[in-house]
Structure 1
Amino acid sequence: MFNHIMIGSNDIERSKRFYDAVLATLGAGEPARNQAPTGHTRLFYRHDGNVFGISEPINDQEATVANGATIGFKCVSPEQVQLFHDTAVAHGGTSIEQPPGLREGHMGALYLAYVRDPDGHKLCAIHRPQQNR
C-alpha cells in the first residue's frame, strides 16, 4: 500500500546518527543521501522493499510531529523489539507509554515498544507472534 514514509527533522545529522543505529537493528544499512532541488538534505533508508525518509523541511519551516501519528516498524522477535527500543533510548530517543512487552487486545497478542525520536516523532517496534508477515 505504501511507497514510502517521510518525516521532517530539525537536525538532519542528529537524525542520521539516531536512525543509523535504530534501523540497523532491523537490518537496514546506510541511507542514500539526496539533495532536493531546493538544496535541502534528505536521507532514504531502504530495506525489504520499504523506504523510510527523513528530510529537512523544504518549506523552511520547523519540522513538527503529527499529533496522533505513529510509525510502526515490524520486528521478527520480541528480542528485536527490545533491541530497537534500547538502541533508540541509547541514541537520544525517549521511551514512552508502557515498558516494552506483550500486550493483549483486539488484534491479538502483540509484543510492543514505543519511543520518540530526538525530533519527537512517535515510533513503535512491533512483533506479532502469531503471524510474522
Structure 2
Amino acid sequence: MIGYIMLGTNDLDRATKFYADLLSLLGAKQAMTDPGRFVGWSNGKGPMLAVTKPHDGNKATFGNGTMVALAADSQETVNKVHAKALSLGGTDEGAPGLRGGTFYGGYFRDLDGNKLVVFHM
C-alpha cells in the first residue's frame, strides 16, 4: 500500500550522505533523485525512502508521533544499522532489544530529528 516515504531535511547533502551510508546496510541503493530537491533509495522489496527539501520553501520539521520503520533481515542487522545511525550523528531513542515477545527493534533520530526504528520480527 505505501509507495514511498519522504522525510524533510534542511541540509540535503548531509541527509543524503547519512541515508546512503545507513540504508546500504539494508541493501538499498539510490533509486531516484531531483538534484537540489530530493534523493530516494530502495532495496526493491518495499517502499522507497526519500529525503527532501520542503516544496513550499519553509524549514523542514519532524512530526511528533511520526516514525518510519525499516525492516531488517536479522537481529544482527538491526544492531548494525542502529550502531551505524549513531556513528553517523544520529541520536539514540532506544537501544536494540526484544520488545513485545517477537519484535526486536532499535530506535534513533536522524540528523534532522526524524524518528526511525529498524526492526526484525
TM-score by length of 1: 0.85
Partner Cα separation in structure 2 for residue 103 and residue 46 of structure 1: 27
1:26-77 CA distances to partner (integer Å, 9 max, x unpaired)? Answer: 0012353214xxxx51101122242111111111110000100110000110
Aligned equivalent of 2:87:
90
Where does structure 1 differ by over 4 angstroms across 4 or more consecutive aligned residues?
Answer: none
- Cα contact 2:33–2:40 (8 A) shared by 1: yes
Identity of aligned residues (%): 34
Partner Cα separation in structure 2 for residue 80 and residue 46 of structure 1: 17
Structure 2: gaps of 5 or more residues? none
Question: How do 1:21-32 and structure 2 match up within 5 A?
Answer: 21-32=21-32
Structure 1: gaps of 5 or more residues? 129-133
Report the structure number with the largest CA radius of gyration: 1
Partner Cα separation in structure 1 for residue 70 and residue 79 of structure 2: 12
Partner Cα separation in structure 2 for residue 8 and residue 123 of structure 1: 13
SS at match of 2:30: coil
CA RMSD in angstroms comes to: 1.2
TM-score by length of 2: 0.93
- Cα contact 2:12–2:52 (8 A) shared by 1: yes
Partner Cα separation in structure 2 for residue 11 and residue 41 of structure 1: 10
SS at match of 1:30: strand
